[in-house]
Structure 1
Amino acid sequence: MDLTSPNDTVPAPGGALTEMLRALRLEGVDYGRCELGAPWAVLFPVQKAARFHFIGRAGCWLLSPPGEWMELKAGDALLLPRGAEHILASAPGVQAEPLESYSVEPLQDNVYAVSNGGHGAKTLLFCGSMHFNHDGSHPLLAMMPDMLRAKELMAGEPGIPHLLEAMADEATRNRAGSGMMLARLADVLAAAIIRSWVENSAGDITGWISAIKDRDIGRVLVAIHRQPDRNWTVEALAREMGASRSAFAERFTAVVGETPAKYVAGVRMHQARRWLEEEGMRVSVIAARLGYDTEASFSRAFKRIVGSAPSHLRAAGGASGKG
């Protein structure tokens, strides 16, 4: 799900932010329509994919990532961008079990019905896992809080209340195809939540958000993220901004908080990580694509920035040998 309008093609003041949002997409993985009778508590362990929850009927309690209990009402929606561990429960203190311990039945593609044996008050939830096309190391995802709540962002995104109403209708009426409709609405709502946070709640955040909103530096950042495998010298980046080499380097470092070379290296290794984990690309192919003379020199740079050897990530990702 694209985080921008398909008609938003003309760069404007802040157009770099629009471009970066356009590049960040949500890809639904799986969703569960959960009808749970009290007492119940579901443990959602930490995961790479984002978590999404919508409370369709009655209410429940959330043990949030900071370790505090929060009451949720019908119509609440939550997005946990980096999949932080948390618990949803009928009441605080109920022993939590993983979702897999409940009855899970397939409804349709990527949508499942989840239930338990509780005979108390029934709560209806719609829970999902979503993959971003960028992992949590992307600057935008890394800056987000552990949890975003739709109702707290309504003022900045007028469409959110309508999406919540539509989800509530689909969740409670359980019509034919409601699981698929809920999955589509969840994708759109998650995109609206992120956009609202970026455009409003993140307005006072310094660093990367400020940099991408800067007309000149933002244009440079978009160019880097669009073509991470390009040989980005300081001179080439300075031309993107239309400034001298020294003036560009000084301005970039002051606004972004790190040198152009360090930022480019981080983006390139982020891209390399995606190639390894998602496409199973060979390390030698990635090294050549990113302009390294040898596989060993690339591997050293990758381990220094990412923290682990590229061969380990490729193996963990179930490499397919592409490339």
Structure 2
Amino acid sequence: MLDRSSQPSSPSHIPMDALSEVLQDFRLSGVNYGRCELRHPWSIEFPQQPLLRFHFVGQGPCWIHTEAQGWQELRDGDLVLLPQGIGHRLASAPDVVGSSLEGCQVTKLGGNVCEVIRQGTGATSTLFCGSMSLGSCALNPLITLMPPIIKGCDVAGNDPVVGPLLTAMTVEAAQPQMGSATILSRMADLLTARLIRCWVNCNGASTTGWLAAIRDPHIGRALAAMHRDPGHNWTLGSLAGVAGQSRSIFAERFSAVLGEGAARYLARLRMQLARELLGQNGLSVAEVATRLGYDSEASFARAFKRITNVSPGIVRRTIPGRIDMNFGF
């Protein structure tokens, strides 16, 4: 519970660049990757999923369709990132219908990488696709703000590394050798991280919202502290001390920029982390309650249900501990 008492704080160790501190927790974890060789005509539907998804086109033809933007052609050497994992379709041409996945031969290459082959006589499309999870729910507010699709070619001019990386991936995909799948997966991780960072750097003009708050020299320090240690017994006074402001000024500024009070923000952050711990980590409700700073399992359960509208026990029983997206198809 966030109260109005004051606690000693030591803001000297909090870096002035709060955004950089939060982005330090930006750890992509590849769930699965696939190198695809698909003969025209082909079409594959990708359902909505809670993970980031990307597609790299080593050689076309390749088109992508989303409900919001319709069909878009992807050129050779282009990478498309779908931060929220929205549903979409890839095809060798917009007029190809149905699903070609049933006719593909899927071979596990080791680890979380597989090879997807579709035989035929048409032109060959070479793709490298995959799904990724974030290392922490701390970046969920950032991912929510991002557009549903980001194309590497659209941001290459703002990051001198993106262009050469796309070129290197094109070469690796065109001439597969021993270890190519592993190399491509590491390149994809790096490209995805740089695309997200590039988007952040190019979209910081707003005066309200999460990006504006994390860049604020005062509010950002408090946000970074909450994200770094969400289970700490934060009070309005201690957060104001980290921000270097009085409690009244901090509370007013926090609400003005983020549209909610610090207590509400911290509670939502804790519940996002709780869902992650209950689902993927398999911790008990009591263990999660202790980790997030609640005095009892009962008080945590009440807060969880108030914010998420479901009990933590139901979440623990219904969310699988291991995410297996079957290569995301």
One fold, TM greater than 0.5? yes
Aligned residues: 310
CA shift, 1:47, in A, is: 1.0
Q: Where does residue 21 of structure 1 map in the other structure?
A: 23
Query: Match for 2:63 among 61, 64, 70?
Result: 61
Q: Where does residue 77 of structure 1 map in the other structure?
A: 79
Q: Where does residue 158 of structure 1 map in the other structure?
A: 160
User: Matched residue of 1:59: which SS?
Assistant: coil
Q: Where does residue 225 of structure 2 map in the other structure?
A: 223
Range that drifts further, 56-65 or 152-161: 56-65
Assess if the C-alpha contact under 8 Å between 1:269 and 1:305 holds in 2. yes
* % identical aligned pairs: 45
Q: How does 1:214-253 map to 2 (within 5 A)?
A: 214-253=216-255
Assess if the C-alpha contact under 8 Å between 1:280 and 1:317 holds in 2. no
Q: Where does residue 262 of structure 1 map in the other structure?
A: 264
CA shift, 1:202, in A, is: 4.7
Q: Where does residue 10 of structure 2 map in the other structure?
A: none
CA shift, 1:304, in A, is: 2.2
Assess if the C-alpha contact under 8 Å between 2:37 and 2:118 holds in 1. yes
For the aligned residue pairs, the C-alpha RMSD in angstroms reads: 2.1
Structure-1 separation of matches of 2:265 and 2:103? 44
Assess if the C-alpha contact under 8 Å between 1:65 and 1:146 holds in 2. no
Q: 1:77 to 1:173 in 2, by over 3 A?
A: same
Q: 1:291 to 1:29 in 2, by over 3 A?
A: closer
User: Matched residue of 2:316: which SS?
Assistant: helix
CA shift, 1:98, in A, is: 6.9
Q: Where does residue 92 of structure 1 map in the other structure?
A: 94
Query: Match for 2:174 among 172, 175, 178?
Result: 172
Assess if the C-alpha contact under 8 Å between 2:25 and 2:138 holds in 1. no
Structure-2 separation of matches of 1:143 and 1:83? 13
> Gaps (5+ residues) in structure 2?
1-12, 323-329
Structure-2 separation of matches of 1:197 and 1:189? 12
Assess if the C-alpha contact under 8 Å between 1:32 and 1:127 holds in 2. yes
CA shift, 1:113, in A, is: 1.0
Range that drifts further, 292-301 or 51-60: 292-301
User: Matched residue of 1:97: which SS?
Assistant: coil
Structure-1 separation of matches of 2:54 and 2:100? 16
CA shift, 1:48, in A, is: 1.3
Alignment partner of 1:272 is 2:280: no
Assess if the C-alpha contact under 8 Å between 2:221 and 2:242 holds in 1. yes
Assess if the C-alpha contact under 8 Å between 1:40 and 1:118 holds in 2. no
Assess if the C-alpha contact under 8 Å between 2:230 and 2:266 holds in 1. yes
Structure-2 separation of matches of 1:11 and 1:186? 32
CA offsets 1:257-306 (integer angstroms, 9 cap, x no match): 21011111111111211211121111122223334344233222112222
Query: Match for 1:195 among 197, 204, 210?
Result: 197
Q: 1:100 to 1:214 in 2, by over 3 A?
A: farther
Structure-1 separation of matches of 2:321 and 2:183? 33
CA shift, 1:12, in A, is: 7.2
Q: 1:313 to 1:113 in 2, by over 3 A?
A: same
Structure-2 separation of matches of 1:178 and 1:53? 16
Range that drifts further, 24-33 or 189-198: 24-33
Structure-2 separation of matches of 1:300 and 1:258? 20
- TM-score in terms of structure 2 length: 0.88
Assess if the C-alpha contact under 8 Å between 1:44 and 1:99 holds in 2. no
> Gaps (5+ residues) in structure 1?
1-9
CA shift, 1:67, in A, is: 5.0
Q: Where does residue 210 of structure 1 map in the other structure?
A: 212
Assess if the C-alpha contact under 8 Å between 2:15 and 2:21 holds in 1. no
CA shift, 1:144, in A, is: 1.2
Structure-1 separation of matches of 2:272 and 2:259? 18
With CA pairs under 8 Å and 6+ residues apart, which has the higher RCO, 1 or 2? 2
Structure-2 separation of matches of 1:205 and 1:31? 38
